[in-house]
Amino acid sequence: MALVESSINLEVGKVNPDLQKERDGASFNPNDMTLVLLGGPKRAQHRREVVRQLFSDPVFNQEMRYSQSKTERYDQAMHQSIRLAEYMIEKGWTDKEMQTAAVALHYDLATAVHAVMFVPTILRLATPEQQAEWLPQAASFKMIGTYAQTELGHGTNLKALETTATYDRSSECFIMNTPLPSGMKWWPGGLGKSTTHALVTANLIVDGQSHGFQVFLVQLRDVETFEELPGIEVGDIGPRISVSVTDNGYLIMRNVKIPRNNMLSKYCTVTSEGKFLRQEGTAKSNYGTMMMVRASIVDLAFQNTSQAVTIATRYGAVRRQSELKPGAKEPQIIDFVTQQYKLIPNIALAYGLHFTKEYMLSYYHQVFEEEIQKGVYDSVPELHSQSCGLKAYCTDLSMDTVEVCRRSCGGHGFMMASGLCSLLMDGLGSVTYEGENTVLYLQTARFLMKNYAAAMQGGRTARSLAFLTANHPTCELLDVFNLPQLQAVFDVRAKFMLECGAVRMSESLKNGRQQYEAWNENSVELVRASKAYLDSFTAVNFMKRVSTLDIKPELKDVLMKLCRLHALHRIVSSAEEFLQSMAINTKQLEDIRSAEIKLLASLRPDAVALVDSFDYHDQTLNSALGRYDGNVYEKMYDLTKRNPMNEQSVHPAIHKYLKPFQAKARL
């Protein structure tokens, strides 16, 4: 061992006195807030119990994760996936417990896409008979699957996917083919090494006629040996920015025959005679999985944001640096107002995202479970628009926050042990997968423009766009803390931005541009309009939700401060649009900036309690800087001592290269 035993107190569990002081000084009990966030004592108890059981099992110990090689990590991730499957049998864990466990483990499991896309797609797009055949196999891991849609040549443009499924009437089979090279499937999570099956999206061709993309269950590997089946070529696509274990893969199919029953047929089917049948009104039903996953990515954005602020805020309370009052003890870095400005508006954002994801998931369930199941599709366009837009908006903000938090920890934020680097690198995928964010903002804009046109013609708008027809005769911000006045300010700015997009579009069209040219020419403005709408929707949802909560006064008080700070911070962040729309004037902007700083001071004593309320287990945070007990330096030293680079006091490379050279040089 290269390092001598340290005299540093390595006792873990004794809470750092600065952190303890923060907790003692808070205006509310974090446990009460946790119950609000988790939806009551029963749910909180359930989550805590699942997480406790999970992390009391050494298989789920994450501590050495950052020092593991990719292969070691894959090994552990497969072990963890299988252990969770064992829990289903041994402990009777259901989807509910599995979901909680997956979140606590950051979905960093070898079979994550199996759980989040493969099984849910079967549930949504397969007939009851297909479900009865496949779901038990999926539950017992006899069948481990992925969702293979993206190709090397196309991810965004689904109409251009090249994979084909050609119906062969004589054998009643589909023949799957990959035109090379751009048509090979590329990216699906788990495809590289972990899966036996894939749900493959392919162009259905019957008698030479295309019926658009459909979803097919294709077996890739022998379920016993895991060897590739004839006609199948699969592999891992190679190193990626993220350190997550997911083995994203590629797939080539050469004349692979699959039974007719393997086309997911809840909404469309091919009869044995080769007739293509589709239920009316279900043209976009195959896009349903994307809508569901986008809604759940809003939740992921909340988790990334809330974990990052938890780490950085606790560290901000523990770390002492520089001089504030001349000659006095070094201050906690969280006492610098610039540091508060990095952390506290992002704590407010994390709370805002909590209420956004609550909205998004409940709207998704309402439309999917109550309306679509009854054949009512009226809300689908709005749900599509919001799931696209909020996925993009929330992941963009969440990644900005993680990076700000990482930088706010100075040099230590650059260490994997901070927990912030993996949050950043793993989280970065979320701005691209399930629809690249710009593309998704433009989907939202499409819906906004249609609604704007309807509103201008006196027609009805979707419910989230009621502000287009609402009367805000004078939007006067007399009191920057007044929620209805702030809401009006957001609405005026969003309406103005939509109007800018619409006016530009109509001018382009008047100037003789085709619709597609006008759209492209004005797309930067259209993305701005989407962001303004989403900014407004999120801030207003936050204000409305908090205003209607029936909770203890001290909790309400702090939540009101947070939603005000969030609103003010969003206004300052896009001040030019609020000014340009005349939602505020320059004097009001000055008032807003001052109010924002006042709110920082007022929330500062509660910062630690606010992040404690997210109730993250230390193993989920997996951060030396964000530990609950605040023993940052002790833990960093402890991890460093166990770092494989320190296993030998002299690295073999010294003997291999340096010593021979020195010997030669001496001659």
Ligand X SMILES: Cc1cc2nc3c(=O)[nH]c(=O)nc-3n(C[C@H](O)[C@H](O)[C@H](O)COP(=O)(O)OP(=O)(O)OC[C@H]3O[C@@H](n4cnc5c(N)ncnc54)[C@H](O)[C@@H]3O)c2cc1C
- Which of ligand TC6, ligand X, none is residue 148 near (CB under 5 to 8 Å by kind)? ligand X
292 touches ligand X by CB under 6 A? no
> What is 210-259 written as a DSSP string?
EEEEEEEEEE-B-TTT-PBPTTEEEEE----S-------EEEEESSEEEE
Active site annotation includes 403: no
Q: Which residue has the tokens 């708008």?
A: 461
594 touches ligand TC6 by CB under 6 A? no
C-alpha angle with apex 370: 365 to 375, nearest 5 degrees? 120
410 is an annotated ligand-binding site residue = no
Task: Round to whole Å and give the CA distance between 577 and 497.
Answer: 8
Binding test (CB under 6 A) with ligand TC6, winner from 213, 216, 433, 537: 433
**Residue 284 neighbours by CB under 8 Å, 6+ apart:** 380, 384
Instruction: Determine how many CB atoms are found less than 10 A away from the CB of residue 329.
Output: 9
Stretch near ligand X under the rule CB under 6 A, chosen from 276-284, 377-385, 428-436, 590-598? 428-436
Do 350 and 306 form a contact (C-beta atoms < 8 A)?
yes
Amino acid at site 489: V
Residue nearest to ligand TC6 (CB): 287
Task: Round to whole Å and give the CA distance between 197 and 218.
Answer: 6
Task: Round to whole Å and give the CA distance between 316 and 335.
Answer: 8
Amino acid at site 248: N
x/- contact string, 449-468, with ligand X (CB under 6 A)? --------------------
The footprint of ligand TC6 on residues 116-135 (CB under 6 A) is 116
**Paired strand residues for 213:** 203
505 touches ligand TC6 by CB under 6 A? no
Task: Round to whole Å and give the CA distance between 385 and 370.
Answer: 19
- Which of ligand TC6, ligand X, none is residue 626 near (CB under 5 to 8 Å by kind)? none
DSSP state of 10: -
- Which of ligand X, ligand TC6, none is residue 248 near (CB under 5 to 8 Å by kind)? ligand X
Task: Round to whole Å and give the CA distance between 220 and 511.
Answer: 53
- Residue count, binding to ligand TC6 (CB under 6 A): 25
Q: Is the dihedral of CA 560, 563, 564, 565 positive or negative?
A: positive
The footprint of ligand TC6 on residues 355-384 (CB under 6 A) is 380-381, 384
Q: Toward ligand X, which CB reaches closer, 294 or 564?
A: 294
- Which of ligand X, ligand TC6, none is residue 110 near (CB under 5 to 8 Å by kind)? none
Q: Toward ligand X, which CB reaches closer, 425 or 475?
A: 425
Burial of 331 (0-12, 13-18, 19+ CB in 10 A): middle
Binding test (CB under 6 A) with ligand TC6, winner from 127, 137, 219, 443: 443
438 touches ligand X by CB under 6 A? yes
Q: Toward ligand TC6, which CB reaches closer, 107 or 542?
A: 107
**Paired strand residues for 200:** 148, 216
**Residue 498 neighbours by CB under 8 Å, 6+ apart:** 448, 449, 452, 468, 529, 532, 533
The footprint of ligand X on residues 72-131 (CB under 6 A) is 113
439 touches ligand TC6 by CB under 6 A? yes
- On the question of a cis peptide bond just before residue 179, with omega within 30 degrees of 0, the verdict is no
156 touches ligand TC6 by CB under 6 A? yes
Q: How far is the CB of 60 from ligand TC6 (least distance, A)?
A: 21
Binding test (CB under 6 A) with ligand TC6, winner from 144, 290, 367, 483: 290
Do 172 and 222 form a contact (C-beta atoms < 8 A)?
no
DSSP state of 16: P
439 touches ligand X by CB under 6 A? yes
Tokens linked to 177: 């083919």
Residue nearest to ligand X (CB): 155
Taking alpha carbons only, the member of 448, 289, 266, 302 closest to residue 368 is: 289
189 touches ligand TC6 by CB under 6 A? yes
148 touches ligand X by CB under 6 A? yes
- Which of ligand X, ligand TC6, none is residue 76 near (CB under 5 to 8 Å by kind)? none
Q: Toward ligand X, which CB reaches closer, 215 or 571?
A: 215
Task: Round to whole Å and give the CA distance between 357 and 298.
Answer: 5
Do 33 and 610 form a contact (C-beta atoms < 8 A)?
yes
Q: How far is the CB of 69 from ligand TC6 (least distance, A)?
A: 23
Stretch near ligand TC6 under the rule CB under 6 A, chosen from 128-136, 154-162, 480-488, 642-650? 154-162
327 is an annotated ligand-binding site residue = no
DSSP state of 146: E
- Which of ligand TC6, ligand X, none is residue 584 near (CB under 5 to 8 Å by kind)? none
435 touches ligand X by CB under 6 A? yes
- Which of ligand TC6, ligand X, none is residue 595 near (CB under 5 to 8 Å by kind)? none
Q: Are strands 164-168 and 185-186 parallel, antiparallel or unpaired?
A: unpaired
Instruction: Determine how many CB atoms are found less than 10 A away from the CB of residue 171.
Output: 11
DSSP state of 329: P
Do 443 and 384 form a contact (C-beta atoms < 8 A)?
yes
In the set 434, 577, 596, 634, the catalytic residue is 434
236 touches ligand X by CB under 6 A? no
Binding test (CB under 6 A) with ligand X, winner from 30, 145, 183, 188: 188
- Which of ligand TC6, ligand X, none is residue 290 near (CB under 5 to 8 Å by kind)? ligand TC6
237 touches ligand TC6 by CB under 6 A? no
150 touches ligand X by CB under 6 A? yes
Task: Round to whole Å and give the CA distance between 496 and 604.
Answer: 35
364 touches ligand X by CB under 6 A? no
How much is the CA Rg of the chain, to the nearest whole Å?
Answer: 27
Q: How far is the CB of 609 from ligand X (least distance, A)?
A: 35
Q: Which residues bind ligand TC6 (CB under 6 A)?
A: 113, 116, 147, 149-150, 155-159, 189, 284, 287, 290-291, 293, 380-381, 384, 433-435, 439, 443, 446
List active site positions: 434
Residues making contact with ligand X (CB under 6 A): 113, 147-150, 154-156, 187-189, 248, 429, 432-436, 438-439, 442
Q: Which residues are annotated as a binding site for FAD?
A: 150, 189
